[in-house]
Each structure stands twice: as structure tokens, then as C-alpha cells.
Amino acid sequence: MKGQSVSLILSILIYAAIFVPVASAETETKALLMTIIFRLPVFFIVLFLNLSSSSMEKKQRGWKTPRPIDWLLIPILVMLTLILGMVFSMKSSPVDYSIGAWPLLTLLALIIAVVEEGYFRSWLLTEMPRLGVPSHWALVVSCLLFSLAHAWQGLTGIVFAALIGVLYGAVFLRRKNIIILIVSHAVYDLLAMLPLINR
């Protein structure tokens, strides 16, 4: 029971940390670096929670090499996410980035993908059933929390994130592989940032 209480407390702290607003800065590089710095502790906590356990638990949380068929899901997930993003006309960052910001944007997309997929899919969809919550209710809770974490994007962002949460959560529950979701999420985020690049 003590381990379950610790898991619950850590889950709440991680979720709260995802909501920490990122301070604005006068330059794009400083803004990106500040965002990365604010997200890095959460990134390492999520990795630690998911990867510091036995190899059996890691596999249950989806941290395993994808099967060949799983790799085929990445372009499908990216396309579906892009289509939903276009339908909901997502609010994006108010900052325009220069082409020189690509390395930092790529790092940020990877950090966000690992944090969000590692927490909302791998961690919650594995730990909640261990606490006795049926998988379908764990998916509902995961989607609700994921969508609320995108409230800064307005109502359309909340609905978009809920739909993506259902899609990615269902894929996780079916395939039990978090790597394909992290890659899909990071690719989508990078593609979504393309219009923000000043050439």
C-alpha cells in the first residue's frame, strides 16, 4: 500500500509540474531554453519512474523495442493527429522562430513527447489498473487529464487533446508500446511547429 501511495503522490506532483507556466523571454532562444529547463525535471522524473523498475515492469509500461508492424502505426498516427489538428485549428505559440531554432525545437518536441506519453499513457494506463481501476476508466481519466493539460489552447485544444488521448491511449492499451507513441507525438509536434518558422 505504501508503494501505491507514493505512486499516487508522484503522479499528482508530475501532473502539477506539467501545468507550470513557462516564463516569457525577450528572445526566442531564451524562451526555448527556459521551456526546456522547466520541462527537464519532469522529463527525468517520468523516465525514472518508468525505467527504474524491473524489466518486466518496463515491458508492461511499453518501454520495449517496437515490433515491425508497430513501426507502421507511426505514419498513420501522425496523419490522424495532423488531420485532427487541422480540423480543430490549434492555437500555437505566439512566437515566430528562426530556422536556427530547429535544434532547440527538436529537443523541446522530444521532451514534451516523452513527458506526455510517458506520463499520460505509459504511467497512468499501467498504474491505475494496478490500483484496481478498470482499463477503460483509466483511459477516460488519462484522456481527461491530458486534455486539461492543454487548456491553454482553449476549448478546441481541450477537445483535440481528448481525441488524441483516446486514439493514443487505445493504441497503447492494444499494442503496449510507448516508443511508437513518443515518436509519433514528437514528429507531430515538429510538423506543427513548421508554420512558426520564419524563413
**3-state SS, one letter per residue, for 109-176:** HHHHHHHHHHHHHHHHHHHHHHCCCCHHHHHHHHHHHHHHCCHHHHHHHHHHHHHHHHHHHHHHHHHC
Note the pLDDT of residue 194.
76
In the chain, % helix, strand, coil (3-state, to 5) comes to 80, 0, 20
**Which uninterrupted H or E stretch holds 98?**
strand 97-98
Note the pLDDT of residue 178.
96
**Residue 140 CB burial class (10 angstroms; 0-12, 13-18, ≥19):** middle
Angle value at C-alpha 90, between 33 and 104, nearest 5 degrees: 20
Mean pLDDT by 10 residues, the chain (199 residues): 59 64 56 72 80 86 93 94 81 56 82 90 91 93 89 85 96 96 94 72
Within its chain, how far is the Cα of 72 from the centroid? 20
Is 75 in contact with 182 (CB distance < 8 Å)?
A: no
Note the pLDDT of residue 86.
83
Domain boundaries, the chain: 2-198
Instruction: Name the pTM for this structure.
Output: 0.84
Segments in 52-101 forming alpha helices (H): 55-60, 68-71, 73-87
Q: How many CA atoms lie within 13 A of 88 on its CB side?
A: 21
All cell numbers assigned to 55: 524489466
